[in-house]
Amino acid sequence: MKKIILILFLIFSGCSVKKILSKDLLYEKSLKHTKRCQIISSLETKAILDVVYLNPIYKDLKKNTLLIGVYNDFNNTINNVEFNLKINNQNISPSKKIPPFVEYKHFPFYNNWMEYYIVTLDQKPPYKIEYISKHWGECNLSVK
């Protein structure tokens, strides 16, 4: 009986090993160009910010574009009464409309409970990104 279970386990796990070892180029590229920061107060996460620089992933983009995912305690909007996003010391108003070719649900840090936004910029990198809370501090990222 143990041999049969072992053989069945090897057969079924062998199929999944091939899938695990196969390359997912979108995942790898997006992982390489993703940054994350958190605002933590009293051992509690108040906000999470994920930033993906999309231009190295999607070569056809004409403007410099960032995909920004945000989670916070204030209805997950990126700018609200508590939180404010700045890029290179300028307030940013991102778009909620994500282009259909951006397969962000396959990116490494995708979460259903985060809201995602697109930011297009005229200036070239590097970008200094600040997510600032009035009461709990800030988190900073640099995108090159």
Per-residue pLDDT of the chain (144 residues), as tens digits, is 666 665 666 566 665 555 555 667 888 999 999 999 999 999 999 999 999 999 999 999 999 999 999 999 888 899 999 999 999 999 988 999 999 999 999 898 899 999 999 999 999 999 999 999 999 999 999 998
- Judge contact between 40 and 49, C-beta under 8 A: no
Residues 6+ apart with CB under 8 A from 95: 117, 118, 119, 120
The SS3 assignment for 113 reads coil
SS3 82: coil
In a 3-state reduction of DSSP, which class is residue 28? helix
- Cα–Cα distance, 68 to 90 (Å, whole number): 16
pLDDT reported for residue 39:
97
Under 8 Å CB-to-CB from 6, ≥6 apart: which residues?
A: none
Q: Give the per-residue pLDDT at 24.
A: 78
